[in-house]
Amino acid sequence: MNKEFWKNLPKPIIGLAPMDGYSDSAFRRVCKHVNPAIITLTEFTSADGLHHNAQTLLKKLYFHPDEQPVIAQIFGKNVDTFITATKLCEDLGFSGIDLNMGCPSKKVVQSEHGVALRKNHDLAFQLIEAVASNTKLPVSVKTRLGWCDSSDLIPFAQGAQNAGANMICIHARTYQEPYNVPAQFEPVYDMKRHLAIPVLGNGGITSISDGLEKLGNLDGFLIGQATFGNPWIFSQDPAPKSFVEKLPLIQNHAQWLIEHKGLAVGTREIRKHLLAYIKHFQYAKHYRSQLSQVQSLEEIQNILAEIRNCTMIEPSANPEIFKK
């Protein structure tokens, strides 16, 4: 991989947004299975953690070769730990390093990590410079419009570019705006006019066609929450899929997650995905409590097979199950 990676990718670049608790290896594989051309990023991973005790965090950075090109996302505020984490990610075979400068969670912001770096441009640029000059991998930055408005977006992005960032992705909401506030892409289009590096936008994108409508002069977009229960959002084929068509990939998802994280963690973490997969089926209520307690792959497969059978019979044949 080289620093021109983002420039050389076919446009528009489409990707799965990094999401802690969701965009792990199994879900990234699922999304790549639907559309091998998408880009994926890991969940954010602490540079301090990787520096002090890499062993415990290595599971979080696991990826399957099918996922490539996959980008490791790290967060923190310390130059030395960023350098250690970068070298580790390079050794692990990642295709790029992304620096999280957008996370709004209380704990992260109190530690002056994530979006708090938007209040300290100098430190943000030092971190980018340290990472960029210590790796042959492309370095990107994912941030937000700004703290409470987008007034520092252009100088911040220009500073990031000058410090060595090869791509910048803007979640088109400020720190103060919750995820349900409509994203504002205009400031991102304006920022792009002042930059030479590729720019991605994200926030509130609900389909590929929605992303293309919002693309404007940008180089691509990421999709986050709209992928929950719907990795087919990345499909080139817009025709809706039946549950029977979706089932093999849902089963793979469960299997990959349990293989990677073990039975206890894997079955616990797959539950929210299973509930999301069946959310829109009219008989979801009937299976919700069963799926939220699954303990084994076999149990998951049995419940999914029952749901598949239900989707193949007439509602009148089993009115109990089809009740809303």
Ligand X SMILES: Cc1cc2nc3c(=O)[nH]c(=O)nc-3n(C[C@H](O)[C@H](O)[C@H](O)COP(=O)(O)O)c2cc1C
Footprint of ligand X on 93-112 (CB under 6 A): 100, 102-103
Minimum CB–partner distance for residue 134 and ligand X (Å): 21
Q: Are 307 and 281 in contact (CB under 8 A)?
A: yes
225 binds ligand X (CB under 6 A): yes
44 binds ligand X (CB under 6 A): yes
17 binds ligand X (CB under 6 A): yes
224 binds ligand X (CB under 6 A): yes
Judged by CB, which is closer to ligand X: 229, or 307?
229
129 binds ligand X (CB under 6 A): no
Using CA atoms, how far apart are residues 111 and 120, in angstroms rounded to an integer?
13
User: Which of 9, 13, 14, 19 lies at the binding interface for ligand X (CB under 6 A)?
Assistant: 19
Minimum CB–partner distance for residue 16 and ligand X (Å): 9
Q: Are 125 and 87 in contact (CB under 8 A)?
A: no
Name which of 116, 32, 40 is nearest 75 in CA terms. Answer: 116
Judged by CB, which is closer to ligand X: 157, or 310?
157
202 binds ligand X (CB under 6 A): yes
Specify burial of residue 101 (Cβ count, 10 A radius: 0-12, 13-18, 19+).
buried
Using CA atoms, how far apart are residues 133 and 268, in angstroms rounded to an integer?
40
205 binds ligand X (CB under 6 A): yes
Q: Largest alpha-carbon pair distance within the chain? A: 66
DSSP 16: E
Judged by CB, which is closer to ligand X: 75, or 256?
75
73 binds ligand X (CB under 6 A): yes
Per-position DSSP letters for 195-238, written without gaps between them? -SS-EEEESS--SHHHHHHH-TT-SEEEE-GGGTT-GGGG-S--
Segment contacting ligand X (CB under 6 A): 84-92, 202-210, 278-286, 305-313? 202-210
20 binds ligand X (CB under 6 A): yes
178 binds ligand X (CB under 6 A): no
The pair of three-digit structure tokens given for residue 211, joined into one six-digit string: 């992303």
Using CA atoms, how far apart are residues 185 and 204, in angstroms rounded to an integer?
10
Decide: helix, strand or coil at residue 99.
Answer: strand
Minimum CB–partner distance for residue 75 and ligand X (Å): 8
Segment contacting ligand X (CB under 6 A): 19-27, 28-36, 151-159, 284-292? 19-27
161 binds ligand X (CB under 6 A): no
Could you list the residues that contact ligand X (CB under 6 A)? 17-22, 43-44, 73, 100, 102-103, 142, 171, 179, 202-205, 223-226
